[in-house]
Amino acid sequence: VTALADLLVAIVGPDHVLDDADVTASYARDWTGRFVGEALLVVRPGSTAEVAGVLRACTDAGVPVVPQGGNTGLVGGSVPRRQPMVVLSTSRLTARGDVDAGAAQVTLGAGVTMADWRRHAQAGGFDAPVDFASRDSATVGGAVATNAGGSRVVRFGTMRAQVAGLTAVLADGSSIGSLAGLPKETVGVHWPSLLAGSEGTLGVITAVRLKLVPWYRHTATAMVATGSLADAVAVLAALRSNVANLDAVELILPEAMAVVAAHLGATPPVGDERTGAYVVVELADHEDPTDALMAALADLPQIHDAAVTTEGPARERLVAFRDRITESISAQGVPLKLDVAVPVGALDELMAAVRAALAAHGGRVVPFGHLAEGNVHVNILDPGDPDLLARDILGAASALGGTISAEHGGGLAKSKYLHLVRTPAELAAAAALRHALDPTGTLNPGVLTAT
């Protein structure tokens, strides 16, 4: 330990190698509290060259490394899980380039937060296309590494679609990638495509060249109450065909509304005993889209109650019922998080399978998610038998043509279930690729490792 610590101190300086257990503890515990490990050391390199030095030293010493951004990941991939393990924190990689208006791109250090990406883009007259509730801590590097989604995917796609370039360091300390951001290039392997969603298993992303989108100054937000999930999907279909500036279509099921309303100490803005599903809809545009939103919702027979707001405190109050669900669940205990997606037409069947699994294995479900992607966050409080719940619910998602992870990644949580969505040939090819880039198994062992 001392020899490795001395080497790391020589690379990043004494202030950036942490070994005091009181200090390293917060880097070793995940956001949910479900995954708690111990860090041999926490290292905070300040440049790509320092990241390379750190990785080379750890690989030479045979000590595995877990890359960590904001530590808001929800599947256990961002914290140590065996001894010894070094946490490589990107918290000092916070350089921000100027907004390149002609290209509509910006270069950011991997440790810049999602909120700072957005603020920086807006200061340059643009906007960031990805947004989600952990924005103040989650980093752009972590978001690329988990191919993060959030509420604007319906309009702009996931994080993968925003990466015009990146640089990353492999386990042996070599650097790959480019920040040129060329929109067209055809010379074989495309590093951003490979690294997006790789969850720290192929390389440490040190900087990203991200796309920007127009900054729509006007947002109209509605919450509507519908009778069922099928009705919510009918509302989604109508919006998709009738409006051009759809920015978010989010789903809250009644159990989640009850939990978040209690947490906020507020009454749900819409709905009553008829409500089977709430939908939060946003339109964003250069002109105020409120009239367009009201018109789009006006004659939909599936809606029995609606509230519409524009920017300001009223909108923030409404959005809080969606944004703060994850926090309100954690305030009640450590949930089992099964983040799945199915084709939207199969959402009813998915929830029937979830309820059957709960009846058989115990627990309280708090479901919500991203309706346009058929993505339901199946959060289970007081899970009776977590393994059987996971087996049945992830199995059902897969059988319905969906996935065991639409967001957040596989981490440690899903390693056991990768076979549900990948063939043996695919798992073998992925393992071979990983071995080629990281032959010593330094980077994030256990994560995305089929077991």
Q: Restricting to residues 221-280, which ones interact with ligand FAD according to CB under 6 A?
A: none
The reply to whether 143 sits near ligand FAD by the rule CB under 6 A is yes
The reply to whether 282 sits near ligand LAC by the rule CB under 6 A is no
* Binds ligand LAC (CB under 6 A): choice among 377, 410, 430, 444: 377
Cα distances (angstroms) measured from residue 297 to each of 151, 238, 315, 347: 19, 9, 17, 22
Convert residues 86-125 into a mask of x (bound to ligand LAC by CB under 6 A) and - (unbound): ----------------------------------------
Pure H helices in 311-423: 313-323, 325-330, 347-361, 386-399
The reply to whether 48 sits near ligand LAC by the rule CB under 6 A is no
Window of 85-93, 255-263, 274-282, 406-414 that interacts with Zn ion by CB under 5 A? 406-414
Q: How far is the CB of 153 from ligand LAC (least distance, A)?
A: 10
| HSE-CB of 271 using CA atoms within 13 angstroms | 25
The reply to whether 46 sits near ligand FAD by the rule CB under 6 A is no
DSSP 38: -
Closest to Zn ion by CB, 40 vs 318, is: 318
Pure H helices in 277-346: 290-298, 313-323, 325-330
Window of 6-14, 72-80, 237-245, 278-286 that interacts with ligand FAD by CB under 6 A? 72-80
Q: How far is the CB of 120 from ligand LAC (least distance, A)?
A: 23
Q: Looking at this protein, which amino acid is placed at residue 401?
A: G
The reply to whether 402 sits near ligand FAD by the rule CB under 6 A is no
The reply to whether 130 sits near ligand LAC by the rule CB under 6 A is no
Window of 60-68, 311-319, 393-401, 418-426 that interacts with ligand FAD by CB under 6 A? 60-68
Name which of 128, 67, 132, 192 is nearest 407 in CA terms. 132
Helix axes 347-361, 229-242, angle to 10 degrees: 150
* Binds ligand FAD (CB under 6 A): choice among 59, 302, 444, 449: 444
Contact partner, 437, from Zn ion, ligand LAC, ligand FAD, none, Cβ < 5-8 Å per class: none
Q: How far is the CB of 337 from ligand FAD (least distance, A)?
A: 10
Burial of 34 (0-12, 13-18, 19+ CB in 10 A): middle
CB 284 within 8 Å of CB 233: no
* Dist CA 229 CA 276 (whole Å): 7
DSSP 416: G
> What is the number of helices (H) and of strands (E) in the chain?
15, 17
Residue numbers of the site for ligand LAC (CB under 6 A)? 132-133, 326, 377, 407
